[in-house]
Structure 1
């Protein structure tokens, strides 16, 4: 992390509204990279005080365990990170309306929740950063798509980029493409885990111990990803390099093609993006109905 990234965080105070795994991944990245003091970070959720105290013990952040503490932190924070479940988001955001100052920055990590819906729920065009990170942020190897509302200032934009750079890679995209990010990388780790499950199970069926099958699979996936990253080559080209004509790898690839592996993956990613839109539509409909 550059000095400029660190300085962009400055003395800003943050509150994580929702204290799940993604919130923990982000705040851990900030704390462990010494980009901000844990005292500048408050965590809150709807009712699980034990979870907040656990985060305090692990990272030194400030738990808001009472309604008064929550209200005070939300009112005073420079940045509010929305990380509650999508089904709870409409009511939670509406409740923020009387507490917010015009200059406070809203950062959303909620799948499907558009900037326009956040504005609709708040009744005004608050500065909003919409993001789609993934769970690899937990180990500092996340991939985050990010987009900005028109009212986000240059310093707020720099702050948001620094925050997500602390937990991996960021890609600035036009907001309509956030759903594509969700399909490719937001849910992407699950696809890789699913592939790894299949590789391990097949290894066991062929006689390997579960431990050996797992170790070999993990190292293979790790090495393949590192090859793409280190060489900069297209994955398709790397695949062709290790696929000898009429060899074992070609036989395996032909079998995957027979079962429409690429078509299934494409359809899965499109369906993931569509589902994010559906979830966003449901939140938007709830916003309209609650007027």
Structure 2
């Protein structure tokens, strides 16, 4: 399979690195980037060929588009005539709907829309994938294999993609926000910042592994840490008093609503 990646920014390059790490032949990958210096740097570093978007689209069996949403319409107009008839187009652009992609590409083009998140940069992405009407099962599996090189992949109907954006797409920022606040609390309590950071980062990593590997509901894991009238119980009572759970529900609803707004026709 020949893969073309248009857009060699952080996300596009991370996907490229994941493909190569998973054993994909660099001879089967081309990259395209409007910044020629950036394209040359990525090409040299990873040993893949760099070319123009139109040439990248020509001959590619799977075409990944990792450009800014505002650049999408002009890019699709440029590459559409060059696409192979059965080429699968995978869009990583936020807010760009399947209808938009299909209406700006030749009729019948198989299109997949993906919402990844930034842990893609360390091979631990959570990607939500929605397929257009012309995508076959084999093509869908190809897209999943591609994204699986940098993390986990789930299929969702496009009607749920805005919610997935609020949950996992924006999710890393919520965790960074929380960890940052906990580090600041450590400093306030007299712990050196470097030590507070180490304590919280490892705690976050270990807690995530417990969630994944135990298969337990997070409420059960929380209860296992919470001794009656203990320190954890006191902290959780304060969070409940401040209505933190309700604030989280409202925050994610706001993120979902903003995703819907960004996806409306311009």
Same fold by TM-score, threshold 0.5 exceeded? yes
2:111 matches 1:124: no
Question: Of the candidates 2, 5, 8, which is equivalent to residue 19 of structure 1?
Answer: 8
1:62-211 aligned at under 5 Å gives the runs 62-64=49-51, 69-122=52-105, 124-211=107-194
Tell me by how many angstroms 1:223 deviates. Answer: 0.9
Unaligned runs of 5+ residues in structure 1 are 1-11, 286-291
2:43 matches 1:60: no
For residues 74-93 of structure 1, the C-alpha deviation after alignment (integer angstroms, 9 at most, x for no partner) is 22211111111112212222
User: In structure 1, what is the Cα distance between the partners aligned to 2:135 and 2:237?
Assistant: 49
SS at match of 1:169: strand
Question: Of the candidates 254, 257, 266, which is equivalent to residue 274 of structure 1?
Answer: 257
Higher relative contact order, structure no. (Cα contacts within 8 Å, ≥ 6 residues apart): 1
State the partner residue of 1:220: 203
Tell me by how many angstroms 1:123 deviates. Answer: 5.3
2:18 matches 1:29: yes
User: In structure 1, what is the Cα distance between the partners aligned to 2:152 and 2:203?
Assistant: 22
User: In structure 1, what is the Cα distance between the partners aligned to 2:217 and 2:169?
Assistant: 21
Unaligned runs of 5+ residues in structure 2 are none
Tell me by how many angstroms 1:177 deviates. Answer: 0.9
User: In structure 1, what is the Cα distance between the partners aligned to 2:210 and 2:66?
Assistant: 34
Contact 2:6 2:33 (8 Å CA) reproduced: yes
What's the Cα RMSD here?
1.4
User: In structure 1, what is the Cα distance between the partners aligned to 2:225 and 2:102?
Assistant: 51
Aligned CA distance change for structure 1 residues 280 and 125 (closer, same or farther; 3 Å): farther
Give the structure-1-normalised TM-score: 0.87
SS at match of 1:16: strand
SS at match of 2:58: helix
State the partner residue of 1:236: 219
Contact 2:32 2:56 (8 Å CA) reproduced: no
Contact 2:126 2:152 (8 Å CA) reproduced: yes
Tell me by how many angstroms 1:50 deviates. Answer: 2.1
4+ runs of 1 displaced by more than 6 Å? none
Tell me by how many angstroms 1:234 deviates. Answer: 0.5
